[in-house]
Amino acid sequence: MIDLLKFYMKNRKLFIKNIENSNEVDLRMCINSKTGEILEKQTAHYKNLFIEITENRATIKGSIHKYFNIFEGHGEQNYNDFSFCDFKYALNRLQNALDINGNDTYITNLEFGLNIDIEEEPQKLIDNYILMYDYKMPNRNEKFYGKGDYLEFKTTDYSLKIYNKSKQHSLKNRNILRVELKITGARYLKKHFNIYTVNDLDRDRFKKLFDKLLEHFDKLLIVDTLSLKNNHRMDEMIFFQNGISATYWKDLKNKVSSKVRYRFKNDFNNLLNKYRLLKTKKKLRILLVKKYKELMDCDCGIFTNVA
DNA sequence: GGTATGCGGGCACGGTTACA
DNA sequence: TGTAACCGTGCCCGCATACC
């Protein structure tokens, strides 16, 4: 679930002192290669996490999921299941290792996502049937030279990302689709989830994050087919072709009133329901809910500070 | 110095509803 | 299909701060 986490320490000096005394981290100075001047900036790698100390900030950034997998002996990957308790355990371990007081942190970036095993090839879905978010095309649609299938729908404070997790990790005989909400604005974390520090990442916040992920997922246009069969009415066939066209939606935005657009939207969705063209989307939604429940169904009472 | 990032206020816009 | 009104969302903009 929570994968990437980026946060800084409110008490920068204390954190530096703590990691300087730690056996876990080698803090490295940065030197200007031309002048030999020692810069204020210092960096360190701790497992897969990156620590950066600048003049005013001490920041930790990286995948907490991979961090967990490294010390559990599963390798540096994040395609397996990562339960709520695994997360709490990993965070607890990180805090102990680097002597981090949770209340002393401030989260600026967070990624919340789920990996679901699906029947079909994720590439087929991504390339053909996941068409739009909020009736807009993806901002990023990448292939990574054949090593991935990746869609990102970006807004100011967050992105909805959908990609082929099995291909990213070259997993044969697995069809893993990842659906992820990437939050890049701290104000979004505050406003929608009341998340400020790592101590806030409790069950209640996970539920809120998941609900928001579903809310954004619901705004995706995922259809089962790209054409209505010939036995359908001609007017409906044309209507359907318009509805799955991002250009058509863009035109609607520019040319007609919000009222007309609103009605088109309702009619289009009624058409999708009438011909049961949302089976794939419904299936994916069920899998997301199922996976979320599985990952939350754990008892982490042995840790302290766990909600 | 320039650029990137973070932040919050203000406001335009879109979604929605009621009514015509 | 149009008008009006309400409300929430998201985006722009200006400012501050961080970083290079």
pLDDT of A135? 77
In this prediction, residue A306 carries a pLDDT of: 42
CA at A264, C1' at C6: how many angstroms apart? Answer: 22
Looking at residues A263-290, what average pLDDT do you find?
84
Q: What is the pLDDT of residue A26?
A: 76
* C6 C1' to A257 CA distance, Å: 18
**Residue A21 CB neighbours (<10 A):** 9
* pLDDT per residue as tens digits for the range A19-46: 877 777 777 766 555 555 555 667 788 8
* A window 262-281: Cβ near strand C (< 7 A): 263
Q: What is the pLDDT of residues A98-107, one digit of tens each?
A: 888 887 787 8
Mean pLDDT of A210-218: 82
Q: Tell me what pLDDT residue A295 has.
A: 94
Q: Are A167 and A148 in contact (CB under 8 A)?
A: yes
C-alpha torsion A284→A285→A290→A295, nearest 10: 90
User: How far: A89 CA to B10 C1' (Å)?
Assistant: 43
* pLDDT tens track for A136-183: 777 777 766 667 778 887 776 777 888 888 777 777 888 899 988 888
Tell me, what's the pLDDT at A119? 92
Query: What span, in angstroms and rounded, lies between the C-alpha atoms of A12 and A16?
Result: 6
Distance CA A305, CA A307 (A): 6
Distance CA(A205)–CA(A197), nearest Å, equals 12
Whether the predicted pLDDT of A293 surpasses 80: yes
Q: Give the residue whose CA sits closest to C12 at C1'.
A: A156
pLDDT exceeds 60 at position A243:
yes
> A105: which 2 tokens?
């942190």
